[in-house]
Amino acid sequence: MTISLPPVKHRIESIDMLRGLIMLIMALDHVRDYMHLGQPDPTNLAITTPILFFTRWITHFCAPIFLFLSGISAYLAGTRRTKGELSSFLLTRGLWLLVVEFAIINFAQTLDPLHHLVIFQVIWAIGGSMILLGLLVWAPMPVIGIVGALIFFGHNFIDVVNTGALSKNLTWNLLISANGFGNFFPLGTDRGMLVAYALLPWTGVMILGYVFGSLYAKQFDTARRRRILLTSGLSLLALFIVLRAFNLYGDPAPWSVQKSTALTIISFFNVTKYPCSLIYLCMTLSAALIILSLTEIVKNKFTDMLVIYGNVPLFYYICHWYLIRLVNIVTFPLQGFSFKQIGEPPQAYGFSLVGIYLVWLFVIVSLYYPCRWYGRYKKTHTQWWLSYL
């Protein structure tokens, strides 16, 4: 008697490897956000240090690469579906991600079951961008590419426009340009919204990812794909260097010479993430394209480990938030503080930067086996809901 097993699903390992890498790095930023002693601002040149700035800077790569790879994955999903099925899938998955952001992730961030504060962060940007892409996929690929390029390269023209009252407008912040980390918008006496990610600039990243996804079509020549990825990555890197060096265009916060060489270098790389500037996107996505080009034929134990995490991005994302908060909850009273203070932790709570890196390692190592188990489950099962987690 023979038992037929469900077919093992094929994935592109270079994409999963890069996704896994940036997801591990992402956890470092979230650990630092909640448990760094004194909560110093890594981008404040008056107080930062090279290692503190690097700890923040390296995590800048996570959000744009995640959205770009989501665009590639959307294209690949379309190779197995009709145009209508792809559009429906992107719309429903985008809506599901909004539920995840506002119901599941928001609770992990605030520990408030009544959701008095609703935070619009990266999952909102991914979900909203997926919905817009779900509407756009009906257009021809050249049109999709033009729309993506116009948003990607042109959205910083807003910097030279006097937006006036628009900078405090909710719709403007949600769609075009969230000011700094985000504006707070009250929703009654004890509720509010914090908009950290303006949607359209990030949508441009996903759309371009969708266009680059066509390079991974089965009939596309592998060597040619790697050349295009490398050339595109080096071109974006060159654009980053030129625009940033001369403060020409693409970032509302120009760099300047500081009192030390280290601080001058920090100023140069201290690009604007909220809202994401063109220079910030060139810096981060150039690395993504170069890595995708150079790692397509690389395979070793380290890349195999990264693929484990990259196979299950949403599963990992939800689990890592709750594990970080669990560590936060456990260590809070151990340091002598009342749990009631956890919403606004005292300056004396937390760990040194060395401690932050140790907690980060604990988090990512703890999630290895759960991610490996779930990744294997997804590869050998076909339930519809697996496409949504």
Answer whether residue 230 is part of any domain: yes
Q: Is residue 7 part of a domain?
A: no
The whole-number average pLDDT for the span 344-365 is 95
Question: Rg of the chain's alpha carbons, rounded to an integer?
Answer: 21
User: Which residue's entry shows tokens 């004890």?
Assistant: 190
- Residue 275: give the domain boundaries: 13-388
pLDDT at 89 (0 to 100): 93
In tens, the pLDDT along 247-301 reads 999 998 999 999 999 999 999 999 999 889 999 999 999 999 999 999 998 899 9
Rounded Cα–Cα distance for residues 32 and 27 (Å): 9
Is 302 a domain residue?
yes
> Which residue has tokens 């923040």?
56
What's the pLDDT tens digit per position in 54-108? 999 999 999 999 999 999 999 999 998 999 999 999 999 999 999 999 999 999 9
Instruction: For residues 294-313, give the mean pLDDT.
Output: 93
Rounded average pLDDT over 164-181: 76
Give the C-alpha separation, 116 to 277, whole Å.
30
Q: Looking at residue 68, what is its pLDDT?
A: 98
Q: Give the model's pLDDT for residue 331.
A: 94
Average pLDDT, the chain: 91
Residue 344 falls within a domain, yes or no?
A: yes
Counted domains in the chain: 1
In degrees, rounded to 5, the angle at the alpha carbon of residue 389 between the alpha carbons of residues 92 and 287 is 95
Q: What is the pLDDT of residue 381?
A: 82
* Residue 5, pLDDT score: 37
| Dist CA 106 CA 389 (whole Å) | 17
Residue 283 is predicted with a pLDDT of 98
8 within a domain of the structure (yes/no): no
> What pLDDT was estimated at residue 185?
87
Residue 5 lies in a domain: no
Q: Is the pLDDT of residue 8 over 50?
A: no
pLDDT at 147: 97
4 assigned to some structural domain: no
Two tokens, residue 28: 């470092």
Confirm whether 310 is domain-assigned.
yes
